[in-house]
Amino acid sequence: MFKVRMFSRLVILVLSAMGATSAVAAESPKPSGKVSIETKSIAAGIGVLPLDDRFAERADPSLKPSHLRGKTSFVYPSGTVRVPERSSPYTKNLHHTIAAEVEIPQGGADGVLVCCGGIGGGFTVFMKDGKLYWEHNYYNEVRYRVSSTETIPPGRKVLSAEVKVDKEGKFETGGTVTLRLGKKAIGEGRFEKQIGGFFTANESFDIGCDTVSPVSDLYETPFPFTGKIIKVMVDVSEATFEQLAEQHEVRARIAMATQ
Protein backbone atom coordinates (compact mmCIF):
# COMPACT_ATOMS: atom_id res chain seq x y z
CA MET A 1 0.00 0.00 0.00
CA PHE A 2 2.85 2.38 0.86
CA LYS A 3 4.49 1.78 -2.51
CA VAL A 4 1.22 2.41 -4.35
CA ARG A 5 0.59 5.67 -2.50
CA MET A 6 4.13 6.94 -3.09
CA PHE A 7 3.98 5.89 -6.73
CA SER A 8 0.75 7.78 -7.32
CA ARG A 9 2.01 10.91 -5.62
CA LEU A 10 5.25 10.80 -7.59
CA VAL A 11 3.39 10.57 -10.88
CA ILE A 12 1.12 13.47 -9.93
CA LEU A 13 4.07 15.64 -8.92
CA VAL A 14 5.86 14.94 -12.20
CA LEU A 15 2.74 15.64 -14.23
CA SER A 16 2.07 18.85 -12.31
CA ALA A 17 5.63 20.03 -12.91
CA MET A 18 5.10 19.40 -16.62
CA GLY A 19 1.93 21.48 -16.57
CA ALA A 20 -0.33 18.51 -17.17
CA THR A 21 -4.08 19.14 -16.82
CA SER A 22 -5.35 15.63 -17.24
CA ALA A 23 -7.68 14.05 -14.75
CA VAL A 24 -4.81 11.98 -13.41
CA ALA A 25 -2.93 15.11 -12.40
CA ALA A 26 -5.97 17.01 -11.20
CA GLU A 27 -7.40 14.36 -8.95
CA SER A 28 -5.32 12.69 -6.27
CA PRO A 29 -6.35 9.03 -6.39
CA LYS A 30 -7.16 7.33 -3.15
CA PRO A 31 -4.91 4.38 -2.38
CA SER A 32 -6.71 1.29 -3.54
CA GLY A 33 -3.90 -1.23 -3.44
CA LYS A 34 -3.58 -1.16 -7.22
CA VAL A 35 -1.97 1.17 -9.75
CA SER A 36 -4.18 1.94 -12.71
CA ILE A 37 -3.14 1.00 -16.23
CA GLU A 38 -3.42 4.66 -17.23
CA THR A 39 -1.09 5.75 -14.43
CA LYS A 40 1.44 3.05 -15.32
CA SER A 41 1.31 4.05 -18.97
CA ILE A 42 1.90 7.73 -18.21
CA ALA A 43 4.70 6.92 -15.76
CA ALA A 44 6.45 4.67 -18.26
CA GLY A 45 6.13 7.31 -20.97
CA ILE A 46 7.88 10.02 -18.93
CA GLY A 47 10.64 7.78 -17.58
CA VAL A 48 9.37 7.32 -14.01
CA LEU A 49 9.48 3.54 -14.23
CA PRO A 50 11.02 1.37 -13.00
CA LEU A 51 10.87 2.48 -9.36
CA ASP A 52 13.69 1.56 -7.00
CA ASP A 53 12.05 0.23 -3.85
CA ARG A 54 15.23 -1.02 -2.22
CA PHE A 55 16.24 0.40 1.17
CA ALA A 56 19.63 -0.54 2.65
CA GLU A 57 20.96 -1.57 -0.75
CA ARG A 58 20.61 2.00 -2.02
CA ALA A 59 23.34 3.09 0.41
CA ASP A 60 25.79 0.45 -0.84
CA PRO A 61 28.26 2.14 -3.25
CA SER A 62 29.26 -1.22 -4.74
CA LEU A 63 25.79 -1.48 -6.30
CA LYS A 64 26.00 1.92 -7.99
CA PRO A 65 27.86 3.13 -11.08
CA SER A 66 31.42 4.12 -10.16
CA HIS A 67 34.13 6.13 -11.90
CA LEU A 68 36.69 4.17 -9.83
CA ARG A 69 35.61 0.61 -10.54
CA GLY A 70 38.10 -1.26 -12.67
CA LYS A 71 40.83 1.39 -12.40
CA THR A 72 44.16 0.60 -10.78
CA SER A 73 46.21 3.73 -11.47
CA PHE A 74 45.38 7.29 -10.43
CA VAL A 75 47.17 10.61 -10.99
CA TYR A 76 46.32 13.80 -9.11
CA PRO A 77 47.63 17.35 -9.63
CA SER A 78 48.67 19.70 -6.87
CA GLY A 79 45.75 21.41 -5.15
CA THR A 80 43.40 18.44 -5.21
CA VAL A 81 41.60 18.62 -1.86
CA ARG A 82 38.43 17.51 -0.09
CA VAL A 83 37.89 14.49 -2.31
CA PRO A 84 35.41 12.25 -0.45
CA GLU A 85 37.11 9.09 0.77
CA ARG A 86 34.68 6.91 -1.19
CA SER A 87 35.70 8.76 -4.36
CA SER A 88 39.43 8.21 -3.76
CA PRO A 89 41.57 5.15 -4.51
CA TYR A 90 40.75 2.23 -2.23
CA THR A 91 44.05 1.14 -0.68
CA LYS A 92 42.88 -0.96 2.26
CA ASN A 93 43.97 -4.61 2.57
CA LEU A 94 45.91 -4.68 -0.71
CA HIS A 95 49.34 -3.95 -2.16
CA HIS A 96 49.74 -0.37 -3.35
CA THR A 97 52.28 2.31 -4.11
CA ILE A 98 51.93 6.03 -3.45
CA ALA A 99 54.41 8.29 -5.26
CA ALA A 100 54.84 12.04 -5.47
CA GLU A 101 56.88 13.90 -8.07
CA VAL A 102 58.08 17.04 -6.32
CA GLU A 103 60.55 19.91 -6.46
CA ILE A 104 62.43 20.44 -3.21
CA PRO A 105 63.80 23.98 -2.79
CA GLN A 106 67.16 24.88 -1.31
CA GLY A 107 66.86 24.54 2.44
CA GLY A 108 64.41 21.63 2.18
CA ALA A 109 60.64 21.35 2.43
CA ASP A 110 57.98 20.30 4.92
CA GLY A 111 54.32 19.44 4.61
CA VAL A 112 51.80 16.85 3.52
CA LEU A 113 52.20 15.22 0.13
CA VAL A 114 49.03 13.13 0.24
CA CYS A 115 46.67 11.93 2.95
CA CYS A 116 43.27 10.41 3.52
CA GLY A 117 41.29 10.50 6.75
CA GLY A 118 41.85 12.45 9.94
CA ILE A 119 42.42 12.19 13.66
CA GLY A 120 39.99 9.27 13.88
CA GLY A 121 42.01 7.20 11.40
CA GLY A 122 43.72 7.28 8.03
CA PHE A 123 47.07 7.41 6.26
CA THR A 124 49.41 10.25 5.42
CA VAL A 125 52.66 10.69 3.49
CA PHE A 126 54.48 13.86 4.46
CA MET A 127 57.83 15.55 4.98
CA LYS A 128 59.10 17.03 8.21
CA ASP A 129 62.54 18.34 9.08
CA GLY A 130 63.67 17.30 5.63
CA LYS A 131 62.70 13.63 6.04
CA LEU A 132 59.98 11.56 4.37
CA TYR A 133 57.29 9.91 6.51
CA TRP A 134 54.50 7.40 6.03
CA GLU A 135 51.99 6.90 8.81
CA HIS A 136 48.86 4.82 9.35
CA ASN A 137 46.62 6.06 12.15
CA TYR A 138 44.66 3.09 13.49
CA TYR A 139 41.57 4.70 15.07
CA ASN A 140 43.79 7.08 17.07
CA GLU A 141 44.80 4.07 19.18
CA VAL A 142 47.99 2.93 17.45
CA ARG A 143 50.14 4.90 15.02
CA TYR A 144 52.35 2.93 12.67
CA ARG A 145 55.04 5.26 11.35
CA VAL A 146 58.01 4.85 9.03
CA SER A 147 60.55 7.63 8.39
CA SER A 148 63.46 7.97 5.99
CA THR A 149 66.96 7.46 7.30
CA GLU A 150 68.25 10.47 5.39
CA THR A 151 67.06 13.93 4.43
CA ILE A 152 65.70 14.63 0.98
CA PRO A 153 68.08 16.82 -1.07
CA PRO A 154 66.95 19.80 -3.18
CA GLY A 155 65.83 19.30 -6.76
CA ARG A 156 63.17 17.45 -8.70
CA LYS A 157 62.57 14.10 -7.01
CA VAL A 158 60.17 11.17 -6.95
CA LEU A 159 59.31 10.14 -3.39
CA SER A 160 57.30 7.00 -2.79
CA ALA A 161 55.87 4.62 -0.22
CA GLU A 162 55.40 1.02 -1.32
CA VAL A 163 52.98 -0.94 0.86
CA LYS A 164 53.03 -4.74 0.75
CA VAL A 165 50.36 -6.43 2.85
CA ASP A 166 50.74 -9.86 4.43
CA LYS A 167 47.63 -11.22 2.73
CA GLU A 168 45.61 -9.31 0.16
CA GLY A 169 41.91 -9.18 0.87
CA LYS A 170 42.27 -10.11 4.53
CA PHE A 171 40.45 -7.62 6.72
CA GLU A 172 42.85 -5.41 8.71
CA THR A 173 45.89 -7.33 7.46
CA GLY A 174 49.36 -6.18 8.47
CA GLY A 175 52.26 -5.54 6.13
CA THR A 176 55.48 -3.70 5.37
CA VAL A 177 56.30 -0.25 4.02
CA THR A 178 59.33 0.81 1.98
CA LEU A 179 60.13 4.48 1.48
CA ARG A 180 62.13 5.45 -1.59
CA LEU A 181 63.93 8.41 -3.07
CA GLY A 182 63.82 7.60 -6.75
CA LYS A 183 64.75 3.90 -6.84
CA LYS A 184 66.78 4.02 -3.63
CA ALA A 185 65.22 2.60 -0.47
CA ILE A 186 65.59 5.14 2.34
CA GLY A 187 63.33 3.68 5.02
CA GLU A 188 61.50 0.48 5.96
CA GLY A 189 59.01 -0.50 8.60
CA ARG A 190 56.08 -2.70 9.52
CA PHE A 191 52.46 -2.27 10.58
CA GLU A 192 50.66 -5.07 12.43
CA LYS A 193 47.16 -4.03 11.41
CA GLN A 194 45.29 -1.38 9.50
CA ILE A 195 41.80 0.03 9.31
CA GLY A 196 40.09 -2.48 7.07
CA GLY A 197 37.10 -0.36 6.04
CA PHE A 198 36.55 3.34 5.54
CA PHE A 199 38.49 5.70 7.80
CA THR A 200 35.87 8.32 8.65
CA ALA A 201 32.52 9.70 7.52
CA ASN A 202 33.49 13.34 6.95
CA GLU A 203 37.24 13.52 6.31
CA SER A 204 38.76 13.47 2.82
CA PHE A 205 41.57 12.63 0.43
CA ASP A 206 43.93 15.60 -0.01
CA ILE A 207 47.01 16.49 -2.05
CA GLY A 208 49.53 18.99 -0.70
CA CYS A 209 47.88 19.53 2.70
CA ASP A 210 45.70 17.88 5.33
CA THR A 211 42.27 19.50 5.63
CA VAL A 212 40.01 19.30 8.71
CA SER A 213 41.73 17.19 11.42
CA PRO A 214 45.31 15.85 11.16
CA VAL A 215 45.99 12.20 10.40
CA SER A 216 49.35 12.40 12.20
CA ASP A 217 50.09 13.87 15.61
CA LEU A 218 53.44 15.09 14.28
CA TYR A 219 51.80 18.09 12.62
CA GLU A 220 48.83 20.42 12.80
CA THR A 221 46.49 21.03 9.90
CA PRO A 222 46.64 22.11 7.19
CA PHE A 223 50.45 21.60 7.15
CA PRO A 224 50.81 22.61 3.46
CA PHE A 225 53.75 21.34 1.47
CA THR A 226 56.36 24.10 1.11
CA GLY A 227 57.95 22.67 -2.01
CA LYS A 228 56.21 22.15 -5.34
CA ILE A 229 54.10 19.10 -6.14
CA ILE A 230 54.10 18.14 -9.81
CA LYS A 231 51.73 15.22 -9.35
CA VAL A 232 50.81 12.42 -6.99
CA MET A 233 50.30 8.87 -8.24
CA VAL A 234 48.45 6.03 -6.52
CA ASP A 235 48.73 2.53 -7.96
CA VAL A 236 46.73 -0.43 -6.66
CA SER A 237 47.65 -2.91 -9.39
CA GLU A 238 49.82 -6.00 -9.03
CA ALA A 239 52.77 -4.14 -10.57
CA THR A 240 56.01 -4.12 -8.58
CA PHE A 241 57.83 -0.90 -7.75
CA GLU A 242 60.45 -1.70 -10.38
CA GLN A 243 57.75 -2.07 -13.05
CA LEU A 244 56.10 1.20 -12.01
CA ALA A 245 59.46 2.98 -12.07
CA GLU A 246 60.14 1.69 -15.58
CA GLN A 247 56.71 2.86 -16.75
CA HIS A 248 57.34 6.30 -15.26
CA GLU A 249 60.70 6.57 -17.02
CA VAL A 250 59.14 5.60 -20.36
CA ARG A 251 56.42 8.23 -19.98
CA ALA A 252 59.00 10.83 -19.00
CA ARG A 253 61.10 10.10 -22.10
CA ILE A 254 58.03 10.34 -24.33
CA ALA A 255 57.07 13.64 -22.74
CA MET A 256 60.58 15.02 -23.29
CA ALA A 257 60.62 13.83 -26.89
CA THR A 258 57.30 15.51 -27.72
CA GLN A 259 58.10 18.89 -26.19
CATH number of 73-237: 2.60.120.200
Q: Where are the domains of the chain?
A: 2-61, 73-237
What pLDDT score was predicted for residue 23?
Answer: 52
Angle between helices 37-45 and 2-17 (to 10 degrees): 50
Specify whether the CB–CB gap between 196 and 99 falls below 8 A.
no
What pLDDT score was predicted for residue 13?
Answer: 57
How many H helices and E strands in the chain?
4, 12
Radius of gyration of the chain (CA): 25
Quote the DSSP letter at residue 253.
H
Buried/exposed code over 187-211 (b: 16+ C-beta within 10 A; e: otherwise): beeebeebbeebbbeebbbbbbbbb
What pLDDT score was predicted for residue 113?
Answer: 98
Helix (H, G, I), strand (E, B) or coil at 163: strand
Residue among 153, 151, 158 nearest 75 (CA)? 158
What pLDDT score was predicted for residue 21?
Answer: 46
Q: What is the pLDDT of residues 110-160, one digit of tens each?
A: 999 999 999 999 999 999 999 999 999 999 999 999 999 999 999 999 999
Q: Predicted confidence band at 15 (pLDDT cuts at 50, 70, 90)?
A: low
Q: What is the pLDDT of residues 164-186, one digit of tens each?
A: 999 999 999 999 999 999 999 99
